[in-house]
Amino acid sequence: MALKISTVGNSTNIKWHSCSVSKLERQELLQQKGCVIWITGLSGSGKSTLACALSRSLHSRGKLTYVLDGDNVRHGLNSDLSFKAEDRAENIRRIGEVAKLFADAGVICIASLISPYRRDREACRAILPEGDFIEVFMDVPLQVCEARDPKGLYKLARAGKIKGICA
């Protein structure tokens, strides 16, 4: 087992422990290659709907998947984050790290979240091997998203009750 020492935050005594079970062995066991399918788009564009439908379809074909829905992750792991710009970036970074762990385990991880900034998505792509990050943009007109408005965000924004909606 290899031991990799790196600087994490302000700490220098955090060590990455490699396991004797390799990524390839996990993929062979599952008979699939782990990857991340990153679905992004406006609120109400159908990201979660597509993620769940894709998960169901792959499951019916014998593939192991897991959906990391942005709202669901904010209920637990990211419940300490606000919607300020820096916390939005941290939300995406954390989800990217978790998605990578799933992919390393051989799971097809379907991440479904509003991630409007290319730099944040590129940072998530960069931590995965080439070809293991598949980005899907839900290109749905704003008017359609606003008509759906599943969370009432557009209505609140139009009423001036919330600002900086990242739709």
Spatial distance between the Cα atoms of 139 and 102, rounded to a whole number of angstroms = 26
* Closest-CA residue to 149 (of 136, 162, 164, 167): 167
Token pair of 15 as six digits: 């060590």
pLDDT score, position 127: 97
Over the stretch 50-75, which tens digit does the pLDDT of each residue have? 999 999 999 999 999 999 999 999 99
Over the stretch 93-116, which tens digit does the pLDDT of each residue have? 999 999 999 999 999 999 999 999
Spatial distance between the Cα atoms of 107 and 96, rounded to a whole number of angstroms = 14
* Every domain of the chain and the residues it spans: 24-158
Task: Tell me 81's DSSP state.
Answer: -
Q: What are the start-end ranges of the H helices in the chain? A: 23-30, 47-60, 70-75, 85-104, 118-126, 142-148, 153-158
- Using a 10 angstrom Cβ sphere, with 0-12 exposed, 13-18 middle and 19 or more buried, the burial of residue 18 is exposed
Over the stretch 147-156, which tens digit does the pLDDT of each residue have? 988 888 888 8
Catalytically active residues are 115
| CATH T-level fold of 24-158 | Rossmann fold (3.40.50)
